[in-house]
Chain A
Amino acid sequence: MIIEISWDYTEDILWIYNDEKEWLSEGFPLIDDDEVLLKLQEEIDDLYSTFYEFESHGEQVWFNKPKMKENKQKMLDLLKKLNDRINELNDGTFIVEDLETPYWENI
């Protein structure tokens, strides 16, 4: 099983796939029901959403890169907490593919 960490507007940040990378939309209770993870995901979602600006700079959706840079460390800290918690919960049944941390490290 694969847990992908990737954010998108208004969506979950954790996506669960089988080993063939087919999306398992039925979820995974070990991850879905963990209160710590739910709270961290909400914090990340709240922060990430502030970088979206609608009808701004001549675009439907404009990403506020300066604001993202200002909040880079804050986001990286949240992502580390998220990864740490997932690793605590990992009973050996899944691997983690984190698309967010490398992205934020390069901002």
Chain B
Amino acid sequence: MYTSPKIRGHYCMCKGKSWELDNSLGQIKGTLFEPSDEDVLIDPELVLELKKKGVKFTEEDLLFVTRDSSGEIVFLEKGNPGAGLEHIINGTEDSGNHKNKFKDKLNLEKEDIGIAIYKFIKEDNIINVKPSKDNGKNVIYCLNNKYLHIVIASNGFIVTAYPASNDEIERLIQ
């Protein structure tokens, strides 16, 4: 268990170590989704737990690792064109990308998308959960009246994320 000063200290370390690895993908800035001093983007205990569970991940590419409301560990990696933050921002050659959708619906620049995903998870206002085909889940989170799909693989890896459509939310709320 961490004390507050260590949390803040660790956050600073993580900011330097992980988010600034690649400024085009992980730069922290923005307003609504800016991390606070209490945010722990990479908790070493959770990293250790992932290792103990035998989850495959690339530690130096971790952008955040946290625990969701169900108690499961979820993590976002820098990823590749097929999955992870790079996929969310740039997409694959056949999938287009989501950064314009984040801009259109959440008013987020690509630099803010990673921390926004973290904030949605930590806010823990879940609108809907449905299973995905790999035994993972597709969760719709709400934060400040904004809605975001986050697709999480069964091992906790965030595959993709994209804003929920208005009609989808209306159907769910009805």
Contact = CB atoms under 8 A, between A and B. Distances in A.
Interface of A: 4, 6-11, 15, 21-23, 25-27, 32, 46, 49, 52, 54-55, 58-61, 63, 99-100, 103-104
10 contacts: A11-B149, A25-B167, A55-B155, A60-B58, A60-B79, A60-B84, A61-B153, A61-B157, A99-B93, A99-B95
Interface of B: 55-58, 77, 79-80, 82-84, 91-96, 100-101, 104-105, 132-134, 136, 138, 149, 151, 153-155, 157, 159-160, 162-168
Given A9-B83, A10-B151, A23 B105 contact: yes
Contacts of A52: 133-134
Contacts of A9: 83, 132, 151, 159-160
A55 B163 CA distance: 26
B165 A26 contact: yes
Contacts of B162: 8, 11
B101 A10 contact: no
Given A60-B84, A61-B80, 19 more contacts: A7-B95, A8-B95, A9-B83, A9-B159, A10-B133, A11-B151, A22-B104, A23-B105, A25-B167, A27-B166, A27-B167, A32-B167, A54-B136, A54-B157, A55-B55, A55-B155, A60-B79, A61-B153, A103-B93
Nearest to A28: B167
B136 to A, nearest CB: 8
Contacts of B57: 60
Contacts of A63: 82
B94 A7 contact: yes
Nearest to B56: A55
B101 A25 contact: yes
Contacts of B163: 25
Contacts of A10: 132-133, 138, 151, 159-160
Nearest to A26: B166
Interface centre among A21, A22, A60, A61 (most CB of B within 10 A): A60
